[in-house]
Amino acid sequence: MLLRTFGWSFGITAAGLALAGVLWGGKGLAIVAILSVLEISLSFDNAVINAGILRKLNTFWQKMFLTVGVLIAVFGMRLVFPIIIVAITAKLSPWEAVRVAIDDHDRYEALVTGAHPAIAAFGGMFLLMIFLDFIFEEREITWLGWLEKPLARLGKLDMLSVVIALVALVIAATTVATGVPVHGGHGTIDKAETVLLSGVGGLITYLVVGGISGFFEERLEEDEDDDEDEDGEDGQAAEPAANGPTKAQVAGLAGKAAFFMFLYLEVIDASFSFDGVVGAFAISNDIFEIALGLGIGAMYIRSLTVFLVRKGTLDDYVYLEHGAHYAIGALAVILLVTIKYDVSEVITGLVGVVLIAASYWSSVVRNRRLGEGSQESDDDKTEVTTGV
C-alpha cells in the first residue's frame, strides 16, 4: 500500500531532481531538494486537515483531489499565483509579470515580498476561521478538555468565531500592519488598509465556500434520513448504526455537496501554501526552482493525505485532528505576525510538527488505556464463566 500511495510522489521526485540537475546543475538540484523538504515540513498539518475532509468525499472526488487538485496546487499556487499577485500589485500585464519573473529575479522577489502583507492577511484570516469554528464546536471527544469544553459552551453564541476573527484582524491592521519594512530595508510603509481589505476577503471566502459546502452536505444528509424513513414506512427496517456504516456513508459525498467541499478543500490547501511560497525566497528567487521544489513537496502532502484516509488513521488516532487544528491556529497567528516581522520557517514548521506529534502520542496513550480496559473486562468475563 505504501508504494501504491506514494509511488507517484517517488517518481515525480526522481524526475524533478533529475530535471533540476540538468537545468541548474548541482546547486540547483540541492535548492530544489531543500525547497521540497521545506514544503513537507510546513504542510504536514495540512495533510491531516485534508484527510479529515477528503474521507467525506466519494472515490471520484478523491481522485479529482489527486489529479486536478495536484495541478491546482503545483501549477496554480506555486507558479501562476505568485505571477498574478505580482501583476496585480505592480499593475503589470500578466505577460510583463512573466517576463519579470524570468528575466529579473531580484525585482520579482521584491514584488512578491511586497505583496506578502495582503497574502498573509487573506490566508491568516481563512485559517483562523477554520481553527475558531473547530474549537468552538461541541464534540464528544476532546483532547485538552480543560480548554475545549468551556470554549465549546461559549461557541453556542451565534457568530462568535466571526467576531473574534474580525477583532484579531483589526488588531493586526492597527499594530503589525503599520510601519511594515520595505523590501531591501529602505524605510517602512503603512499597510493597514491593504491588510483590512485582504483579511475581510479571506473571511468572506471562508464563509461563502465553507457555508455553501456545509449547506449541500446538510441537504444530502436530510435526503438520506428521508430515504431511511420511507424504507421504514414500507416495512423495511433501516440498518442500525451498530451493524456498520450505511451505503451512503461508504459511497461518500457526491454531486453539488462534493463539488463545493472540493472547492473548500482547495482553498484550505491554497491558504497553507502561502507561507511556503513567500518563505521560499529565502532560499531561491528563481520562480521555476521554487515551483519545482514546492511542487515536489506538495505531491508528498497529497500522497500522505490519501494514506491517512485509506489507513483510517484519523479514526485510530482521534486526537490528530485536534493537533492539526491547533497547528492551524498557530499558523494563522504566525501569518499575521509576519506582516511586519520575519519568522523563521524552522519555527513555523516545528510548531506544527510538535503539535501533531503531541496529539499523536496522546492518541497512542488513549488507545493503550482503552485496550487495557477492554482486556481487563474480557478477563473478568472469563473468570465469571469458568467460576474461578
Give residue-wise pLDDT tens across range 112-155.
Answer: 888 888 888 988 898 899 899 999 998 888 999 999 999 999 98
Domain locations along the chain = 2-375
Taken in order 296, 131, 69, 74, the sign of the CA dihedral is: negative
| Distances, alpha carbon 341 to alpha carbons 175, 193, 344, in Å | 11, 18, 10
- The SS3 of residue 253 is strand
In this prediction, residues 327-351 reach a mean pLDDT of 86
**In this model, does residue 243 exceed pLDDT 60?**
no
21-41: pLDDT as tens digits? 999 999 889 988 988 887 887
Q: Which pLDDT value is given to residue 98? A: 86
Rounded Cα gap, residues 189 and 206, in angstroms? 28
The predicted structure's pLDDT at residue 109: 82
Mean pLDDT (the chain) is 81
DSSP string for residues in 50-63: HHHHHTTB-HHHHH
pLDDT-wise least confident of 27-36, 209-218, 291-300 = 209-218
Q: What would the mean pLDDT of 218-226 be, rounded to a whole number?
A: 65
CA angle 130, 132, 137 (to 5 degrees): 100
**pTM (two decimals):** 0.78
Q: Using the 8-state DSSP alphabet, how is residue 243 labeled?
A: G
CA distance 96 to 82: 13
What is the C-alpha separation between 17 and 29, in angstroms, rounded?
6
* Backbone phi and psi for residue 124, each to the nearest 5 degrees, phi listed first: -65, -40
Cβ distance 6 to 40 under 8 Å? no
Q: Could you give phi then psi for residue 187, rounded to 5 degrees?
A: 85, -170
**Residue type at position 118:** A
Nearest Cα to Cα of residue 279 among 28, 35, 53, 90: 35
